[in-house]
Amino acid sequence: MNHNALRLVAFCSLWVTFAAAEWHSPRHVAKAERLRRWPINLSLGVIGTLCLQAVMPWLAVDAALIGEDRQIGGLHALHLPPLIKAMAGIITLDLSIYMQHRLMHRLPLLWRLHRVHHTDASLDVSSATRFHPAEIALSMVWKIGVVLAFGIAPVAVLSFEILLSSFALFTHANVSIPERWECVIRTVFVTPEMHRIHHSIEHEEHRRNFCFHLSLWDRVFGTYCATPIEPPRSMKLGLTGLGYPAEQTLLRLLLMPLKREG
């Protein structure tokens, strides 16, 4: 099984698992919009994946294989045990995605792409695929640059890619986790309740909790928010002015980066 097939199997398996968990025991009241939202969110994910395969000659794992073959990048110069080198690579990639996420919110041109993700007025497992194709491509370029600069091993890159898509599903899922466990888990990993704050309609809150896997980076760089302004169960999600049904069609979302406001 090649690395793309492995990622797809892992993603689909977890998608079905979290979708079933949402149906059985949702954390928040599920809005009756799935028949409208899910096809759009999944279509964005499919279009993004197809575009990536079409325009990129090789992806992050391929870059890692080339880097390893040619000994490109800083970690190749260090004589570290393979396990330590792989762990260092995963942590480096995790930090790089945190920094990329912050740039997506800070730079106006990048925010135009990323706000497609934030216009979802509800949050569930389908939201993990709601990214503009151009953002998906830029994210891959960023990861390839990091992989080559640091010389991250192929096994570390593949592990990280699986973790990235798996945690995207988990942190967006509307699943119920007992509060005592949720508090413990978020000391190390991002939880759905922690990431939900990042999707708040409040401007200051969607500039918090940027992490994808490890919650460490938000704490280190001062972007951690433990509780939202509004009670979690009544907190509004999305972006003011861009969450109306008329804006939530597949075509409008694909063209949204051309709009200045929001």
Q: What spatial distance separates the first Cα and last Cα of the chain, rounded to whole Å? A: 43
Q: 71-92, pLDDT tens digit by residue?
A: 999 998 888 899 999 999 999 9
pLDDT of residue 171: 96
pLDDT of residue 31: 67
Q: 191-211, pLDDT tens digit by residue?
A: 999 999 999 999 899 899 999
For residue 197, count other CB atoms closer than 10 A to its CB. 21
pLDDT at 247 over 80: no
Residue type, 141: V
- Which of 25-29, 163-167, 175-179, 220-224 comes out lowest in average pLDDT? 25-29
pLDDT at 184 over 80: yes
Beta carbons of 242 and 262 less than 8 angstroms apart: yes
7: closest CA among 68, 49, 56, 65? 49
**Rounded to 5 degrees, what are φ and ψ at 217?**
-65, -40
Rounded to 5°, the CA angle 205-207-208 comes to 70
pTM listed for this prediction: 0.93
